[in-house]
Amino acid sequence: MSGLAQPTARTGGDIMIEADGVSKVFGSLRALDSVSVSARRGTVLALLGHNGAGKTTLVNVLTAALPPSSGRAAVAGFDVSRDPHEVRKRVGLTGQFASVDAQLSGRDNLVLLARLLGADRKSARARADELLELFGLQDFAARRPGTYSGGLRRRLDLAASLVGHPDVVFLDEPTTGLDPSSRLNLWEIVEDLVAGGTTVLLTTQYLDEADRLADSIAVLSAGAVIASGTAAELKSKVGQRTVTVTPEDGTDPAVACEAIRRAGLEPVVDRANGTIVVVIEASKDAAVVIRALDGAGIEVTELSFGEPTLDDVYLTLAERPTGFAS
Amino acid sequence: MTTQQILGKPDSAPPAPEDTPGPAIAWDGSSFLTQVRILTGRSLRALVTDPGVIVFGLAQPVILLFMLTQVFSGMGMPPHFPKGISYLDFVMPAVLVDNAVHSAIQSGIGVVDDLKNGMVARLRSLPIHPSSLLIARSLSNLVRAAVQIAIVIVLAVTVLGYSPKGGVGKLLASAGLVLFITWTLGWAFIAAAAWLRRAEPMQNLAVIAIFPLLFASSAYMPVDDLPTWLGAVAKANPLTYAIDTTRALALDLPGAGAVVPALLISVGIAVVGGVLAAVGFRRPL
């Protein structure tokens, strides 16, 4: 091998993922509501959203596992409804749960997939070995995936989805449940993939992950794209500074919010972190927040300023999921 | 070789022909037969790497064989029992057909396992015909059933002194019929697996299926010695034909003519089961 991926693009541009007004209806549930996203070759598109936002459904439509109810989707130049077989030849999928044969060793799993994709025995083994080495799985190659740690299994699963040199790789919440070092390791793999010319679509609930990896981000909520653009664009769209206060333990957040609201500002409770986030126009508004809480007899244990981050994008744009209230 | 070369496109990838859109792909897929062959090999490999599967699979027919013959051979035989035949001779075909039912259920369990461990999800994301996985399951299970039946027959001959009158040729013919029934019945359970998709209802179905299928048949007693109502059920039970034929062949008794309904019923089960399995399996996960 002498070089990197040589794009042998078809005519008509380098758009590798394209969804145009895609809807998916399950009974009375509208899982996807006229979703449009696209990604150019060699870029990362992140679908950002909480559980149930429709991320996995969109991945299923784009990998030709589920037909869209309406709208059009094309991956690697092929329509997912008309040419699902051609789409499957060109995509790799790593789902939320490891999808490997528990009864075969890690290596045999990779060999099996290569053989099914049409490789002869020799090149299937060669492909398995190079992926095992790349993913640092050589020492575990002969063992069954059941004996792997969570991080190892995720790596094997990712390796499995790369066996066929896919043009487009779908990673559905690839780092959920991974420890920080495994997560970093996976991020580096994704960056290498993209440097090699592969197009990646990843779904995530982690904003730092989208910020670090994605060239463009689509924020999904209740099946609809509520915002999209680069990380910088999204931040500028929100364009607000925030003050985050942590009230003393035992404080009723509703009381604190009411006090802040009376002072003319709009607080948002982040129950997961036990904090209250307030969008501010100017620095003096921070003092307004403090005075309002002080006036209500609420002690503040921590106060911080935030420049716009993806968290704020999410809080500002996404429909408030359970656990968030305004 | 660098990381990016491994992750990117191989140079050996065939260039995209002018008339096909899209970039080159590394391997251009495999044929349906290749997929079936590779996936069958994969399931068989699990049998070799995990001998427990065979050992536990054998436990059922072997225990049944020894228990039945030890418990019932001392009993006085009912009036319609064939003359000059030991209970071992009589019950051996039933043990083999019982093994067929268990093996058939195992085909369904295998499909449920693949659904559960994500193997189906993985294969569905690849350019692979979903039916190839089902056919591979049915074939690998057939091999497994053949190994089990061979071991059971050898044990019966060597330990219990089983010596059917029909001779080796007819014994093999009866074993072949049992294997065909195993394979066709397997499709009923693969179809159930494709629709139920979970282990618990499959296990419940197995328990519900085994007892009536085997006890309301000619497996352990001649049909004419069963209570009238049960005898009527037994006469409608497809397994009765399978067992009668197997028995007639092995023991060189009259009644091998039941082979025609036995085969017809089996083929019917396979066709209906196969179609239902393919339709059920195609539904989204």
Among the listed residues A248, A284, A272, the one whose alpha carbon sits nearest the alpha carbon of residue A325: A272
With a pLDDT cut of 70, the percent of chain B lying above it is: 91
CB contact under 8 Å between A116 and B126, yes or no, is yes
Rounded Cα distance between B272 and B266, Å, is: 10
| Residue A238: predicted pLDDT | 64
Would the CB atoms of B27 and A78 count as touching at under 8 Å?
no
**Residue B10 predicted with pLDDT over 60:** no
> Do residues B258 and B181 lie in contact, with contact meaning Cβ atoms separated by under 8 Å?
no
Whether A203 has a pLDDT exceeding 90, the answer reads yes
**Distance between B158 CA and the closest CA of chain A, angstroms:** 34
Token pair 């607000």 in the structure block, residue = A240
Average pLDDT over residues A300-309: 77
Q: Does the beta-carbon distance from B15 to A114 stay under 8 Å?
A: no
Is the pLDDT reported for residue A157 higher than 50? yes
Residues in B touching A1 (Cβ below 8 Å): 1, 5, 10-11
CB A187 within 8 A of CB A212: yes
Say if residue B29's pLDDT is above 60: yes
What per-residue confidence (pLDDT) applies to B4?
Answer: 63
The mean pLDDT value for A59-69 works out to 93
What pLDDT sits at residue A198?
94
The predicted complex's ipTM stands at 0.81
Between chains, do A198 and B26 touch, taking CB under 8 Å as contact? no
- Sorting pLDDT into bands at 50, 70 and 90, what band is B9? low
Contact: B45, A108; criterion CB under 8 Å: yes
- Choose the closest CB to A102 out of B6, B8, B117: B117
Could you tell me the strand order of the sheet in which A300-306 lies?
Answer: A300-306, A241-247, A275-280, A267-270, A324-325
Give residue A264's pLDDT band: very low, low, confident or very high (50, 70, 90): confident
Given pLDDT bands bounded at 50, 70 and 90, which one contains residue A323?
A: very low
The string of pLDDT tens digits covering residues B191-231 is 999 999 998 999 899 888 888 888 889 888 888 888 999 99
How many CB pairs (< 8 A) connect A and B?
A: 155
DSSP B1: -
Cα dihedral sign, B221-B227-B232-B234: negative
Query: Per mean pLDDT, which range of A6-15, A255-264, B124-133 is the poorest?
Result: A6-15
Whether the per-residue pLDDT at A320 is higher than 60: the answer is: no
Q: Which of B125, B135, B144 to mutate to test the interface with A (most CBs of A within 10 A)?
A: B125
DSSP string, A68-102: -SEEEEEETTEETTT-HHHHHHHEEEE-SS--S-T
- Checking if the pLDDT of A6 tops 80, the result is no
Partner-chain residue, chosen from B9, B50, B125, that has the shortest CB–CB distance to A165: B9
Q: Where does the pLDDT of residue A221 fall: very low under 50, low under 70, confident under 90, or very high at 90 and above?
A: confident
What is the C-alpha separation between B216 and A199, in angstroms, rounded? 60
With 50 as the cut, is the pLDDT of residue B21 above it? no
pLDDT at A55: 93
At residue A279 the predicted structure's pLDDT band, cuts being 50, 70 and 90, is confident
Provide the shortest C-alpha distance from residue B57 to chain A (in Å): 17
B125 vs A63: CB contact, 8 Å cut-off?
yes
pTM: 0.77
**pLDDT of the residue at A202:** 95
Write down the pLDDT at residue B86. Answer: 84
- Checking if the pLDDT of A309 tops 70, the result is no
Where do the structural domains in chain B lie, given as residue ranges? 32-70+83-282
Chain A residues in contact with B46 by the CB 8 A cut-off are 101, 103-104
**Confidence class for position A160, pLDDT limits 50, 70, 90:** very high
Q: Which of residues 29-88 of A touch B (CB under 8 A)?
A: 60, 63, 65-66, 76-78, 85-86, 88
Give pLDDT, residue A59. 95
> Per-residue pLDDT for A318 more than 60?
no
Q: What is the pLDDT of residue A61?
A: 95
- Residue where the block lists tokens 């009589």: B90
Contacts with B, A 153-192, CB within 8 Å: 160-162, 164-165, 167, 189, 192
Q: What percent of the residues of chain B are helix, what percent strand, and what percent coil, each to the nearest 5? A: 75, 0, 25
Q: What share of chain A is helix, strand, coil (3-state, %, to 5)?
A: 35, 30, 35
Closest CA to A279 of A288, A294, A300, A271: A288
Smallest CA-to-CA distance from B188 within B282, B273, B280 is with B273
Q: Which residue has the tokens 């030991």?
A: B86
Average pLDDT of the residues in B229-250: 87
The two structure tokens encoding residue B181: 């029934």
Domains of chain A are 15-235 (3.40.50.300), 240-307 (3.30.70.100)
Q: Report CB contact under 8 Å: A88, B28.
A: no
Q: What is the pLDDT of residue A2?
A: 36
Across the interface, which of B16, B27, B29 has its CB nearest the CB of A8?
B16
Contacts of A90 in chain B (CB under 8 A): 22-23, 25
Q: What token pair was written down for A227?
A: 């915002």
Would you say B146 and B202 are in contact if contact means Cβ atoms under 8 Å apart? no
User: Does the distance separating the beta carbons of A198 and B7 come in below 8 Å?
Assistant: yes
In this model, does residue A119 exceed pLDDT 50?
yes
Predicted local confidence at residue B163, as pLDDT: 85
Residue B99 pLDDT greater than 70, yes or no: yes
Query: Residues B55-91: pLDDT tens digits?
Result: 888 888 888 888 888 887 777 778 888 877 888 888 8
